[in-house]
Amino acid sequence: MSEPKPHTVSPEWLYEQLADEDLVIVDATTHLTMPPDGSVHIEPGLATYLEAHIPGAVYADLFTDFSDHHAAQPFTAAPSERFATAAGAVGIGDGRRVVVYDQSSGIWAARLWWQLRLEGFDDAAVLDGGLPAWTASGYPVSDEQVIPHAATFTSHRRPELLRSTDEVRGALDDPHTLIINALDPATYRGESPSYPRRGHIPGSINIPFGDLVDPSTGRLKPTAELRVVFEKAGALDPDVHPVTYCGGGIAASGLAHALAVAGRSDVAVYDGSLNAWTADESLPLVEGPDPR
């Protein structure tokens, strides 16, 4: 039996693998800001990639190339055919290994990691701590744009890793579904002006993705600590199916990745998240703290 693929790798491990011709290193940096007026500003990270990136890394534009622009919400996962084309264009394909990183909190890298898993590609990992951890370890960076070697990516979608609004609504009273909000506690409680309708999905609990990261290093907390958090929440119970959500599916992907690191790799992401849920005024929202 083959060894399971790691969901995260260290800068030290990656540095030792730089000469591997089958390894594709991907910078998935995206910049998203939400001014006080409630608007959303999205900027691809190509400019920061060109300033400094891991040697040999290619750039992937998650918003332009890996999202479904026919969907009502930004960053909706692209259909399998579009995803396969975009992945192949940056060199991700059959027989390749992939390490994804970003230049901030890791949620953008986790987003591409989740999309790869959604399309049946398992040999992908997130660089723990991203570019900041890489540079803190004393490893070199480059400012040369890398031209990808095109590859053939074959999609085998796993629909069980994705949830729609209708599916989440239908599971509100299902005791075997655990809906987890990955946003900060204030937004979960309904105290943030980021959404026209405030609050959280009824019955959902709050595990902020930011609480799973060591603020001094930018890396995920040790696996044992993650397991304590998830076990307390019931997310490691084999009789329940965790479903993560946030504002638009990005932090939810980070939470799904952290759960996979802790041993729960079957987590589904509610891709539309609050962007989709709050757009339908018939869907309920609850304000207040986590009831646990």
In this structure, which topology does domain 8-157 adopt according to CATH? Answer: Oxidized Rhodanese; domain 1 (3.40.250)
- For residue 1, name the pLDDT band (cuts at 50, 70, 90): very low
SS (H, E, C) 59-102: ECCCCCCCECCCCCCCCCECCHHHHHHHHHHCCCCCCCEEEEEC
Q: Are 280 and 195 in contact (CB under 8 A)?
A: no
- For residue 43, name the pLDDT band (cuts at 50, 70, 90): confident
Pick from 37-46, 77-86, 200-209, 254-263: least confident: 37-46
Residue written as tokens 């800001």? Answer: 33
Could you give the dihedral angle defined by the CA atoms of residues 220, 225, 230 and 233, in that order, rounded to the nearest 10 degrees?
-130
Domain boundaries, the chain: 8-157, 160-277
> Looking at the whole model, is its pTM more than 0.85?
yes
What's the mean pLDDT in 223-228?
Answer: 98
User: What is the chain's mean pLDDT, rounded?
Assistant: 94
> pLDDT of 272-290, one tens digit each?
999 999 999 999 999 999 9
Q: Which residues are catalytic?
A: 246
What's the mean pLDDT in 238-260?
Answer: 97
What are the Cα distances from residue 3, in Å, to 38, 123, 261, 264?
46, 11, 15, 16
Question: What pLDDT was estimated at residue 2?
Answer: 39
What is Dmax (Cα atoms) for the chain? 54
Question: What pLDDT was estimated at residue 207?
Answer: 98
Among 132, 141, 143, CA closest to 51: 143
Handedness of CA 105, 111, 114, 116 (dihedral sign): negative
CATH of the domain spanning 160-277:
3.40.250.10
> pLDDT of 132-145, one tens digit each?
999 999 999 999 98
How many residues in total does the chain contain?
A: 292
> pLDDT of 256-275, one tens digit each?
999 999 999 999 999 999 99
Q: Which residue has the higher pLDDT, 195 or 72?
A: 72
The percentage of the chain sitting over the pLDDT mark of 70, rounded to a whole number, equals 96
- For residue 196, name the pLDDT band (cuts at 50, 70, 90): confident
- For residue 233, name the pLDDT band (cuts at 50, 70, 90): very high
53: which strand partners? 142
Q: Are strands 241-245 and 268-270 parallel, antiparallel or unpaired?
A: parallel
Question: What pLDDT was estimated at residue 3?
Answer: 47
160-277: same fold as 8-157? yes
